[in-house]
A and B are shown apart, each in its own frame.
Chain A
Amino acid sequence: MMNQYTHRPPGHEVQSISGHYVINEEKRIPFQGREVLVATGAFAVDSSCCGTGGCGFALVPGYVVRWKASTNEEGDPVTEIEPIQDEQAKQALRTLLQESEKVQQVNFW
């Protein structure tokens, strides 16, 4: 299971052939006695083969295990995380983040 999250500078745009996404903010949110890493951003699908769209989204890599414990080759800090497996916890976080972050999509690792 993936257990590393690489922190990139806020606003860093990642491009694909069908669009792009940007992570604007990273937060550590207390949740059920632990700390969850949440990255929020927006994406646009403007050149996909089959339509256009986009929305605000929150990515939940998982619980923070060790915050910025190391760095990658480019010098970006890397946090160790534990993905959230429990479906009920996911649903609770989804509802929470849709409300607090005003995002239309909440994705988990």
Chain B
Amino acid sequence: MVGITAYGAYIPKRRLNRMAIIQSMGWLAPALMTAAAGERSMCNWDEDAMTMAVAAARDCMTGMDKSAVSAAYLASTSLPFKERQNCGILTTALNLPEEGLVTADFTASLKSGTTALLTGIDAVRGEGKDHVLVTASDARQTKCAWFFEMWYGDGAASLLLGKDNVIAEFKGAHSVSCDFVGAYRGANAKFDYGWEERWIREQGFTKIIPAAINGALEKCGLSMDDISKVVYPCHLSPRVHQSIAKPLKAGPEKIQDNMAAVLGDTGAAHPLMMFVAALEEANPGDKIVVASFGQGCDALVFEVTDNIKKLPARAGVKGSLANRKEEAQYSKFQKFRDLVNVEMGIRAEANKQTALSAMWRYRKQVLGLVGGKCTKCGTPQYPKVRMCVNPSCGAVDTMEEHAFADKAGIIKSYTGDMLAVSVDPPAIYGLIQFEGGGRALFDFTDCELADVKVGQPVKMSLRMKYYDEARDFHGYYWKAVPQT
């Protein structure tokens, strides 16, 4: 049996109330009011498609054997690098074995998430790839005071594919590929350029998605009556989303909520995000169709198995949505996404060049949070160096790799710093002590100073550490997220 063996998701904690956009920009763009219901997710200033992909993949791998993954695919339209495979950042952060691993980025289309999923299924069905990790993530940049800003959200979803302990069996798929361009982003552009909404709805969504879904059902010998949930995205109004299913003769109860009111459209990640949400509510025997939209459509049919009940607990979409903090200040959204030109002072002008040779040498430490454990005295330590830190040991070259990212940690000391150059002052940071040993100083994120205490548990999260504007280089590293 081939199919999904685990799922995960990540949605940034911050949610921007869409009325906050209206309150700031409604004087200029009053038409936005038609899309102002609910809230959208927004990346913290140190999050992007890359960090969300890592978070969703880690959620997906909860209780799974990372060393068994033999291929990883990353789908997105908003990745930080054009050359330098972004999926390599993901797999290094997950500390996957480098030997025998196939990685690929799937980009440039909002259907890339389902295409990566289809490709992953093909790999598992073929020879030699027993466990394939498929992750989709998007944090699309939008101009201020436009519908894209209202409609879009930030988020990531991840699926593990395999042959054993399958929770949703792959039954079949059908794809339609065509150069339908509702919106595009040129290679040198920061923002989407879109065509008339009514045309996209009538000639795009309502024709292409039903064609692909009907094709898939036909291939599987199924009819809509056999299907429990139909999963497909549409960033336009909830009414338009619903109307797409009319030609499919799917009743409203079968249409998976696109989470426009609580999340927004997460681009390439959205079909997978909605699929994860459907799986969270699914019962064994349910058949689910998952479809995408963007220069065509991939439609895949799955059947949920009994194993779904045995999947270890994870945040998923439900848990991610519940971990929520409302952001009422639109100006924070603007600054976090670098949409306004803010003076950061001379101090911020520092040269942030990255030594690529050093990045390669320290890749496991920096991206993987891999430290060492002395095989002579057993002391876990970070970073991994040649001489043991234990004053009564001091052995040389006895260190084996020891991964800290998934270890529980507690706060030993902390502060909130008004002087450190920060996008969201005060900068909060402190010393983290890991369970079982090992400690280091980390920046804290997704927290308020008033809520931070010595002894508080933290979880580690890969975040954007620095951005070298002069060389367009994003640096990533781990931060501590205090748990309340």
Contact = CB atoms under 8 A, between A and B. Distances in A.
Note whether A and B contact each other (Cβ less than 8 A): yes
Interface of A: 45, 48, 50-55, 91, 94, 104-105
20 contacts: A45-B418, A45-B419, A48-B419, A50-B419, A51-B347, A51-B419, A51-B420, A51-B421, A52-B345, A52-B347, A52-B419, A53-B418, A53-B419, A53-B425, A54-B418, A55-B418, A91-B450, A94-B450, A104-B425, A105-B418
A52 B450 CA distance: 22
A5 to B, nearest CB: 23
Contacts of A54: 418
A93 to B, nearest CB: 11
Contacts of B420: 51
- Give the contact-size bracket for chain B: under 10
By secondary structure, the B interface counts as: loop
A94 B448 CA distance: 12
A20 to B, nearest CB: 15
Nearest to B421: A51
Interface string B326-349: 000000000000000000010100
Nearest to A55: B418
Nearest to B417: A51
Contacts of B345: 52
A19 B450 CA distance: 25
B326 to A, nearest CB: 13
Contacts of A48: 419
Nearest to A45: B419
Contacts of A50: 419
Nearest to B418: A53
A53 B420 CA distance: 9
Contacts of A52: 345, 347, 419
A50 B427 CA distance: 14
Contacts of B450: 91, 94
Contacts of A104: 425
Nearest to A95: B450
B281 to A, nearest CB: 36
A51 B426 CA distance: 13
B202 to A, nearest CB: 46
A94 to B, nearest CB: 7
Nearest to A43: B418
B450 to A, nearest CB: 6
